[in-house]
Amino acid sequence: MIKPHGSDTLNPLYVEDDAKRAALAKEAEGLPSITVCSAAAANAVMMGSGYFNPLSGYMNKADALTVAEKMQTASGLFWPTPVLNMVEDPASIKDAKRIALRDPNVDGNPVLAVQDVVAIEEFTDDEMKMMTDKVFRTDDANHPGVAAFNSVGKFAVSGPIQVLNFSYFQSEFAETFRTAMQIRAEMEKMGWNKVVAFQTRNPMHRAHEELCRMAQEAVKADGILIHMLLGKLKKGDIPADVRDASIRKMVEVYFPPNTVLITGYGFDMLYAGPREAVLHAVFRQNSGCTHLIVGRDHAGVGDYYGPFDAQTIFHDEVPKGALEIEIFEADHTAYSKKLGKVIMMRDAPDHTKDDWVFLSGTKVRIMLSEGQSLPPEFSRPEVAAILMKFYQSEAKKQ
C-alpha cells in the first residue's frame, strides 16, 4: 500500500490510549481555554484522524507564509494550504504554555484538543492578503472560502496538539466518518493495493457513478474510495446526511459487493479550487489511495477558477516527487443520446449541445422541489427519490 505523505508510517494526533486520554481530559479542565473557530476545529479533527500527516500541530507564521507562497513549510515539507488556529483576541491565553481548545460546533463547547503554545503571532493586513491571494487565487469577499478565512482573526496560535475526540463527526456520522487509519485497515482487510479515490461534497448522479467506473477500469484499481466531506459547506449545498443516504443507495444497487468503500472525513470546505485539489491528494495518499480523480472545476465555486486549473496545478506547481499519489484527470461527464451511455465530453468532439442530457443544479432543484422525476439518464431513480424528499421538505419550510 502507498506510504503516507512525509513519513513512513501514519502519526495521527488522536490520543488512542483510554487512560492517557482520560488524564488529558482531566488536565484540560484546569487549563486556560479558548473556543476555536470552525476551521481550526476541522484542522484538529484532520490531524487527529491522520489525514494531515505528518503535521504535529498548528503552523506558525513562518510556515503559514511559506506554505501560502511556495507550498512548503519553512523546513521544506511539501504542503498546499496553511493549517492554522486563528483567533481574534489572544489576551486570555497570552502567557499560557498549554491550553484547552473548545469545540465551536458541539453544544456546551467540550474540549476537542490540548495544545502546547509555542507562539502567538499576528499577521499584518498585507500578509493576510498575500495568503488569501495565493491560496484562493482571489481576495473577493464574496468567495465563501475567502470570507471564512478572513473572518476569524489575525493571530495565529501555533504549537503541537493532542486530540481528544473527533467533534460531531463520529456521533452524527457513525456509519460514514472514518479516520485515515481505519480506511487503511479496511483496504488491507479487503486486499486492495491499488485504490482510486473520488472526492464529493454533492450527491452522485449517473455521471459521477460512471466516472468512478471509468477511473477504476483505466488504472486497474482493486477498489474505489468514495470519500465525502462531512463538514461545513456554503448555503444551498445539500446536507451531509442526505448525500450519504443517496450515495449509499447508489452503491448498494449499482456496484458489485466489496468494490466500493463509502466513507467521510471531518473538514470544512475551503472552495479553494486548485490548492484544495492538492490538499485532497495529500490526505487521500495518507488514506492509502494510489489515485485521486480530479475532475472539471474540482473544489471550485462560481467562476473563480478555470475548468481545469485543479489539474494543471499538479503539472505546473507541484514539484516532481512531492506526492506519491497519482491524479486521474477527468473531463465533464454526461449521458450521450447518440451513444446511449455516459462518457467524457472530450471523447465526443462530434457532439453538439443537444446530444447531451445535462441539467443545471438550479434546474435539478426546481424539478425535485416540484415532485418531477429526473431523467434516468441523469440520475438513478433511487437517488432521485431521496433527493426529492429532501427538496420537497425544504420547499415546505419556505
Q: What is the pLDDT along the chain (398 residues), one digit of tens a residue?
A: 899 999 999 999 999 999 999 999 999 999 999 999 999 999 999 999 999 999 999 999 999 999 999 999 999 999 999 999 999 999 999 999 999 999 999 999 999 999 999 999 999 999 999 999 999 999 999 999 999 999 999 999 999 999 999 999 999 999 999 999 999 999 999 999 999 999 998 899 999 999 999 999 999 999 999 999 998 877 778 888 999 999 999 999 999 999 999 999 999 999 999 999 999 999 999 999 999 999 999 999 999 999 999 999 999 999 999 999 999 999 999 999 999 999 999 999 999 999 999 888 889 889 999 999 999 999 999 999 999 999 998 888 87
By DSSP bridging, strand 195-200 and strand 223-229 are parallel
Q: 275 an active-site residue?
A: no
Question: Of the residues 201, 213, 248, 365, which is catalytic?
Answer: 201
φ/ψ (deg, to 5) at 172? -80, -25
Every domain of the chain with CATH number 3.10.400.10 lies at: 18-170
| Residues forming CATH 3.40.50.620 domain(s) in the chain | 175-397
Catalytic residue among 11, 21, 98, 202: 202
Cell of 58: 498548528
202 tagged catalytic? yes
CB–CB of 164/25 below 8 Å?
Answer: yes
Separation CA 313–CA 298 (nearest Å): 12
Spell out the alpha helix ranges (H) of the chain. 18-29, 38-48, 61-70, 125-136, 144-149, 169-172, 180-190, 206-219, 240-254, 274-286, 309-316, 361-369, 381-397
Q: Which residues contact 51 (CB under 8 A, 6 or more apart)?
A: 179, 180, 265, 267, 283, 286, 287
Q: Are 282 and 67 in contact, with CB atoms under 8 Å apart?
A: no
Task: Note if the pTM is more than 0.85.
Answer: yes
CATH of 18-170, one of 3.50.50.60, 3.40.50.1980, 3.10.400.10, 3.40.50.150: 3.10.400.10
Helix axes 240-254, 381-397, angle to 10 degrees: 160
Q: What is the CATH number of domain 175-397?
A: 3.40.50.620
